[in-house]
Structure 1
Amino acid sequence: MLGQVLAFTLLLLTKGHQGQGSADHVVGISGEPVWLRPTSLQTNIYSAKWKIQPYSNSSNCFTWSWSNNSGRIEVRETLGQTPNCFNKSLNFTNKDFTLLIKAAQPQDSGLYILEFTTPSGKVQEHKFQVSIFDRVEKPNLVEKWKVLDGGICQVTLSCSVTRGGDVSYAWYRGSNLIQIPGNQTELVDKVDVNGLHLYTCNVSNPVSWASHSLQLTQGCQSDQDFTFLFILVSIMILLVALFLGTLTCFYVWRRKRKQSRKCRVPRCVA
């Protein structure tokens, strides 16, 4: 359990340069807790408060405020008093001013600012740039074929996912990465109609990845293959027609022969 917690913490916190004008970059998984723990804070702090600016909202949300007024500590929760401010389940620790998002969601992504003042009135900030991502689901991979000359076919592969947020796409032929410009959801390649080809689409975001592979075998046939198949089917149809025709003629001949035998008795004579 401890190993999982440490692994998750290392994944969650990707620290950037700290300072007055920079922010720590925090990456989280949807549905998992996210801790925003400031470091290198002064010990002599008069007041502190958390401000949240979601990507979906330009206004700040004030969630927790703390003050040490004449030795009396006061903590107030003000979440939801700002119009259009999201309502989340948050916890605040006044010992080290850590803010906990219990079950983070992609809409919780944004800028989180811990603002604190010293007894002299100096204001400082500690910023966190928070990005929450869904886990990437297995992508849907679709193939289309086009016949070219010389036993070559053009295959078009389309890769898509419905969850995962801002994702990156990578294409592989076998175990080799295909170098294509940009972040392409579609791959166009030329293959030998008689060959076996394994293609893989890998989709990833900063917290997870998923892939889908297709073994391309008989997806494309040449014009000669189609001609041979057409002739073969035509011959089979002709043979079946000849068999049915012969069987019908034999049935009619046999029926007429029986009638002819019946007519030879005396009662058949006028």
Structure 2
Amino acid sequence: MNGILGESVAFPLNIQNSKEVQSIAWTSESSVAVITPGDSGKAPTIIVTHNNYKGRIKVIQKNYDLVISDLKMEDAGKYKADITINSTTTKIYYLHVFRRLGKPKITQSLMTSMNGTCNVTLTCSVEKEEKNVSYSWNSLETESNVLQVIQTPGNQGLNYTCTAQNPVSNNSSSISSQQLCADITTDSHTHHTGLLSGLAIIFLAVLILPAVLLCHLRKRKQDAASENIIYTCAKVSKDTQPAEAKIYDEISQSKMKKTKTLGNKPPKVSGYEMVI
């Protein structure tokens, strides 16, 4: 027997003389419930003997068929009904619980494009992968969930439909061949745009970086040259014109060292040398 997760399942007893039923004991891995007929045509009495089934069991009055509602995955398994009518008859059931399948998802991978031809791998899958789920593609003779597609300009009007099926349900999803190639074209354009942007940034860096380094080196040279300048003061005689009383000259440190050897006294700390 097959049941659907969250829905109900009925166990048919097919009792010929239901009015003669004395009791029905249901068991699975443990006791489930005991059913006894009601008095004077009243509904049968149900005694649930396992907490897992409380509030989920009912009995169809006419034939005593057992109904379990709100099925859970753990409800799957072997069920046994011991029917007592003068003597005891046993019936055995095997319950399987499945999910009702939603729309399968089609994903694309290993996409390549060359000379207008698209080579794509399609994979079909359901949200929660389970056992006993089979897949098929259109009228193709394949039961795999993977399909290899070679799309050429001549067959762009095709649709690829995947159908997922289990013992209680089936569902389908489709994708067009035009959509496949369009996705590849978009991805390729995006890739080329990103590549060109990267090359442009590298080219600008190659142009700007040397100029920045050159300016930095030139500034350092200018700073070094300015530090080597020393000012000297020459005092002239009284006969010299007032406007020419003092003459300033710039000499380098190398000249200063030569001047040092001429006199016995070292130059003053102020950096000025007096010449008479």
Tell me the distance in 1 between the aligned counterparts of 2:55 and 2:124.
34
1:47 matched to 2:28? The reply is: no
What pairs with 1:1-270 in structure 2 (closer than 5 Å)?
A: 25=1, 27-42=2-17, 44-52=20-28, 59-66=29-36, 75=45, 77-80=47-50, 89-93=56-60, 96-119=63-86, 121=87, 123-147=88-112, 152-163=117-128, 165=130, 166-172=132-138, 177-180=139-142, 183-192=143-152, 195-196=155-156, 197-217=158-178, 218=181, 219-220=183-184
Q: Secondary structure at the match of 2:95?
A: strand
Deviations 1:103-122 (A, max 9, x none): 22343222322112342x4x
Partner amino acid, structure 2, of 1:39: N
- Look up the match of 1:7: none
For these two proteins, the number of residue pairs brought into alignment is: 184
Tell me the distance in 2 between the aligned counterparts of 1:161 and 1:40.
41
The answer to whether the Cα contact below 8 Å between 1:137 and 1:163 also exists between their aligned partners in 2 is no
Q: Secondary structure at the match of 2:74?
A: helix
Residues 101 and 76 of structure 1, relative CA distance in 2, 3 Å threshold: closer
Q: Which has the higher contact order (CA 8 A, sep 6+)?
A: 1
Tell me the distance in 1 between the aligned counterparts of 2:97 and 2:129.
10
Gaps of 5+ in 1: 1-24, 53-58, 69-73, 242-270
Tell me the distance in 1 between the aligned counterparts of 2:152 and 2:141.
20
Deviations 1:134-167 (A, max 9, x none): 2211111111244487765432111111248532
Tell me the distance in 1 between the aligned counterparts of 2:8 and 2:111.
49
Q: Give the fraction of aligned pairs with identical amino acids, expressed as a percent.
A: 22
TM-score normalized by structure 2?
0.53
Distance apart, 1:65 and its partner CA: 4.0
Deviations 1:57-94 (A, max 9, x none): xx2333224389xxxxx95624227xxx6656111356
Residues 87 and 46 of structure 1, relative CA distance in 2, 3 Å threshold: closer
The answer to whether the Cα contact below 8 Å between 1:134 and 1:164 also exists between their aligned partners in 2 is no
Gaps of 5+ in 2: 39-43, 204-276
Q: Secondary structure at the match of 1:124?
A: strand
Tell me the distance in 2 between the aligned counterparts of 1:131 and 1:95.
26
TM-score normalized by structure 1?
0.54
